[in-house]
Amino acid sequence: MAGKLSTSEVQVKRRPTAAFAGLYLSLLIALFFWTGMAVAQSIAFFPLLDLSEDPNGINSPLTEKVRQELILRGKTLIPAEEVMQFLVRNRIRSLGKLSRYQTSLVHKELGAELVLQGTVCQIDNDTTPLLSLNLQLSRTSDEQIIWAHTEQLYYSDLTSLLGLQDPHNLADLYEPFFNSLFATLPEHPDIGGEAMNTLNIDTVIISPNYLRSGENVSCKIKMRNILDDKAIQPQLIVRSNGQEHPLILDEEGYYLQTSWPVEENAGSYPITLKATWPSGITQEGIIGSYNVDVQEPGVKLHLIGTERDGQILFSDKLIIIPKLVEPEPIDRWEIMVIDEEEETIVIMGAAGNIPRRITWQGKTTLGGIAAPGIYWITFKVWDRAQRESYAEAEVQYRPEPPQILVEATHEEDRVRVGLDNIVNTPLNFWWAKFFAEDGRLLKLVQGTELPATIELDNISDPEYKIQCLLTARDILGNQSQLNIANLFKPVESGVDGEEISIETEWVEEF
Amino acid sequence: MKYWVRFFLILFLFLLAGCGGKAVPIIQKLAPLPAQGSCKIAVLPFLNKISYPQGGPIVNKIFLSELVATGRFQVFPEGDIDSIYQQLLIYPLEQPTREQLAMIGGRINPDLFIGGTILKMDERRQGDYVHTEMTLILHLYDGKSGKLLWSTYHHRLGSEYQQVMHLGRINSISGLARRMSQEIIADWLEQGMIPCTE
C-alpha cells in the first residue's frame, strides 16, 4: 500500500512537471509566432523626396543608404522595384506626400503594414557636410501617421577640441546621424489601427456656381472607392438650405449626382454632404457652395470726347469708360460699334472684369478706317450668373480737317476776300495773313467763325499779286493750312503751291 | 581654496554666458479653440515670403512631424491637403479663403487647421558655424468654419541656443525650424490647447 501510495505520490508529483513542460512549450510556440508576426511587419519604403534640388527632386543614393540602414536594423522592406511599380501604376508623381487613400492602396496592392516616406530637407557633401532628413511612418490599416522625426547634423556639431575624427565628408556623418534618426523609430509599432470612416471623395463638381433664381444646380460627386465592392459604402445625402437631395449613381457608374432648383432669394448657399455608415456613425461637412444672383450688374458709359449740343464728337480718339451700376465680378464683356447703316464695324470682348477704359481710334475690327459719321457704341456685360446688362451711346466721328474756300474779288481800289468752311465742324480759330508782292504784310485777320469777309484797301491794280497764308483749326483739333501764292490767279493743285495739310500742333510754317 | 573659488567663479561665468534671453512665441488669441479639443489637425501649405529655396515645404514638413512626434495629435498627411487644394483649384502659395477652408473641413473633418507664413529664413556661413535665423507666423483656424482663432509669432536665431563653447548652437535652418516648432507646440499646449485624450 505504502509502495503504491509512494508510486501515486510520484505520479502526482510528476504531473505538474509535465504541465509546466506543456505550458513552456506553448509559450515557446506563442513566442515564436509572436516574434514571427512582429518580424513580418513589412514596410513600403518610398524614394526620398529631395527638396534641396527642387520641389520634385529625388535622391536615389540616400534612398538606398536609408534602405540599407533599415535592413541593418532588422526591418522587412517591400522590394524597391515593387514600390517603383506601385508609383508608376498609380501615377503618383509627388514623393513624400501620399494621401490616406494612396496609403490604403499600399496595403491593398503591396501588402505592407507600414509606409515610410522621407524628405531630404538639406544636404551638402563638400568639406563642411550637412544632412537633414525628415521621415514619416504611416500605418496602412488606418492610414495614420504614427511616427515622424526630423534629424539634422552639421559637421561642426561633431567637431572636438583636438580635431580628431572630425567629419570631412557626408559619409562621416552617417553613423551618428542614422543612430540618432532611428533611435525613436518604434521596433514593433501597433499595426492594428481600425480604419476610420473616411469619406474618400475624389471630385466634387457643382455647376454652375452662379445661377439665376429658379435655375437648376447640379452636384456630382466621385468617390474613390465607388467601384470597390468590398469597401464599406456610407449612405450619402446632399443637403442645401435645409432640403435633402438623394444622390443617384450616373449611367457610367462613376459619379453620384443630383440636381435641384435653386432658391428665389439672392445669396450664397453651402452644400453639405451627410454620410451615414452602417455602424450608425455620421459625418457631415461642407463640400461646396453655389450663389443665387437676382440682380443684373447694370452698366453705364462715360465717353471722353468733345460735347457739342448734347452730342459727343471726336476726331483722333474716343475714350470709353464703362462703369458698373452695381459693382460685382463680371464673367465677360463685349463692345460693339455700329454705323448709320446698322452695320457692326467693331466687335471685341474678353473674359473677366471690365476694362478701366477703352480707346477707339476710328478703326474697324478688320483694320480699315471708319468713315466720318454717326456711330453707336454698345457695351455689354454678363455677370457670373450670365445676366446681361448693356449701355449705348451715340458719337460723331469727324476726322476731316476744315476745308476753307477762298474767293477774292477786286472792286475799284480794294480787294474783297470771302472765306468759308465747307466742313460743318465748328471752328476753334482761324487766322489769315495777306502779303504784298514785296513781302510786306498787308493785313492780319483772325476769328473763330466762318464765313467771313476781309477787305484789303488801296489795291487799284487788278493784276496785283497778293499772297495769302491761312490756318484754321476746328474744335476737335483738326487743322488745315493754306498757302495761296496769288489770290487772283487760278491755282493748279500741286503746281502753284496750294496745299492742305493736317497739323497735329500749332506750328506756323513758311 | 582661493583657486577653487576662482575655478567655480569662472565656471559660473561660462555657464551664464550660455544662458541668453529666451525668446518665447507671441500668441494672440482671437477666439477660443474648439471646445471638443484639437485632436485632428490639418496643416496647410505654409506661405513663403522669402527667397530661401523650398523654405515653405521644408518648414511645413518639419512642423507636421513635430506635431506627430508629440504623440498627442492626429495629423492629416500632406497628400490629403494637396489633393483637396488641387480639386478646389487653390494655388499652394495662396491662403485659402474662409469658405474654402470650410469646404476642406467638410471633406476631411479636422478640429483645427494650421496655416503659416514664413517671414524670414536666413542661413549664412560664419567661420566654422552657420548663422541661422527664422521668423514665422502660424495661424490656427477652426476646422469647421475656417474662422481664425489663434495667431502665433515666433522669431529665433540659431546662436540663441548656444551654451558652453559651441554646444547647443543650431547650425542648420531645418534644425532651427524643428526647435521653433517644438517651442510653438509646447506653448500652445501650455496656453490651453487640448490634444487627443486617448
Domain ranges of chain B: 20-190
pLDDT tens-digit series, residues A261-302 = 999 998 999 999 988 888 888 888 888 889 999 888 899 999
Summary mean pLDDT of chain A: 83
Residue A31 counted as domain residue? no
Split into its structural domains, chain A has a count of 4
Q: Does B82 touch chain A (CB under 8 A)?
A: yes
Q: Dump the DSSP string for A430-456.
A: EEEEEE-TTS-EEEEEEESSSSEEEEE
Chain B residue with minimum CA distance to A132: B174
Give me the pLDDT at residue A198, please.
65
- State the residue range of the domain holding A256: 201-293
Residue A252 counted as domain residue? yes
Residue A21 counted as domain residue? no
Average pLDDT score over residue span A227-241:
75
8 A C-beta contact, residue A301 and residue A308: no
pLDDT at B14 over 50: no
pLDDT tens-digit series, residues A198-218 = 677 888 899 999 999 889 999
A270 shares a domain with A253: yes
A175 shares a domain with A50: yes
8 A C-beta contact, residue B41 and residue B109: no
Domain final position from A340, A362, A397 = A397
Give me the pLDDT at residue A133, please.
94
pLDDT at A227 over 80: no
Give me the pLDDT at residue A38, please.
47
Chain B residue with minimum CA distance to A185: B69
Nearest Cα to Cα of residue A123 among A57, A202, A43, A207:
A57
- Side-chain-facing half-sphere of A455: CA atoms under 13 Å: 7
Residue A340 counted as domain residue? yes
Give me the pLDDT at residue A1, please.
35
> What does each C-alpha distance from A170 to A167, A177, A211 come to in angstroms?
8, 10, 61
H helices of chain B, where? 2-17, 55-69, 78-87, 98-108, 173-190
HEC profile for A297-308? CCEEEEEECEEE
Contact residues, chain B, for A130 at CB < 8 Å: 171-172
Instruction: Write down the ipTM of this complex.
Output: 0.87
A382 shares a domain with A412: no
**Cβ of A154 and B68 within 8 Å?**
no
For residue A504, the 8-state DSSP code is: S
Work out the angle at residue B78's Cα, subtended by the Cα atoms of residues B73 and B79, and round it to the nearest 5 degrees: 130
CA dihedral for A158, A164, A169, A172, sign (positive or negative): negative
8 A C-beta contact, residue B172 and residue A130: yes
A359 shares a domain with A262: no
CATH code at position A450: 2.60.40.10
CA dihedral for A126, A128, A129, A133, sign (positive or negative): negative
In the numeric block, which cell numbers belong to residue B96?
A: 485659402
Work out the angle at residue B109's Cα, subtended by the Cα atoms of residues B105 and B115, and round it to the nearest 5 degrees: 50
CATH code at position A86: 3.40.50.10610
| Least confident range of A22-26, A143-147, A490-494 | A490-494
pLDDT over 90, % of chain A: 44
Give me the pLDDT at residue A45, please.
96
A222 DSSP β-pair partners:
A203
Give me the pLDDT at residue A349, please.
93
pLDDT at A23 over 80: no
Domain final position from A152, A181, A210 = A181
**Cβ of B129 and A156 within 8 Å?**
yes
pLDDT at A509 over 50: no
A286 shares a domain with A205: yes
Give me the pLDDT at residue A22, please.
61
The arrangement of secondary structure in B20-190, i.e. its CATH architecture, is 3-Layer(aba) Sandwich (3.40)
Average pLDDT score over residue span B158-173:
81
Chain A residue with minimum CA distance to B169: A157
Average pLDDT score over residue span A420-445:
89
- The greatest distance separating any two alpha carbons of chain A, rounded to the nearest whole angstrom, comes to 185
CA dihedral for A415, A416, A421, A427, sign (positive or negative): positive
Contact residues, chain B, for A154 at CB < 8 Å: 130, 171-172, 175
Q: Does B86 touch chain A (CB under 8 A)?
A: no
pLDDT at A425 over 90: no
In the numeric block, which cell numbers belong to residue A82?
A: 515593387
Q: Does B130 touch chain A (CB under 8 A)?
A: yes
Give me the pLDDT at residue B197, please.
75
**Cβ of A150 and B79 within 8 Å?**
no
pLDDT at A503 over 90: no
Query: What is the count of residue pairs from A and B with beta carbons less than 8 Å apart?
Result: 122
Nearest Cα to Cα of residue B111 among B49, B163, B42:
B42
Q: Would you place residue B198 in the very low, low, confident or very high pLDDT band (cuts 50, 70, 90)?
A: low
Average pLDDT score over residue span A441-445:
89
For B65, which of A52, A54, A149 is closest by C-beta distance? A149
pLDDT tens-digit series, residues B78-134 = 999 999 998 888 988 888 999 899 999 988 889 999 999 999 999 888 777 889 999
Q: Measured between alpha carbons, how far is A263 from A213 in angstroms, rounded to an integer?
A: 6
Give me the pLDDT at residue A504, please.
44
A285 shares a domain with A157: no
Give me the pLDDT at residue A29, please.
54
Average pLDDT score over residue span A127-133:
89
A259 shares a domain with A350: no
Say if strands B129-142 and B148-157 run parallel, antiparallel, or are unpaired: antiparallel
Bin B190: left if φ > 0, else alpha if -120 < ψ < 50, else beta.
alpha
8 A C-beta contact, residue A421 and residue A402: yes
8 A C-beta contact, residue A123 and residue A51: no
Residue A195 counted as domain residue? no
Give me the pLDDT at residue A120, please.
94
Give me the pLDDT at residue A2, please.
36
Q: Would you place residue B12 in the very low, low, confident or very high pLDDT band (cuts 50, 70, 90)?
A: low
Domain final position from A351, A380, A397 = A397
Q: Does B79 touch chain A (CB under 8 A)?
A: yes
**Cβ of B173 and A122 within 8 Å?**
yes
Chain B residue with minimum CA distance to A198: B108
Residue A321 counted as domain residue? yes
The torsion angles phi and psi of A345, rounded to 5 degrees, stand at: -100, -20
Residue A17 counted as domain residue? no
For the packed helices A100-110 and B78-87, what is the interaxial angle rounded to 10 degrees?
120
A173 shares a domain with A77: yes
A393 shares a domain with A315: yes
A287 shares a domain with A213: yes
Residue A151 counted as domain residue? yes
A252 shares a domain with A226: yes
8 A C-beta contact, residue B89 and residue B18: no
**Cβ of A145 and B77 within 8 Å?**
yes
A175 shares a domain with A47: yes
pLDDT over 90, % of chain B: 61
Average pLDDT score over residue span A377-383:
95
Contact residues, chain A, for B125 at CB < 8 Å: 128
- Number of residues assigned to chain B: 198
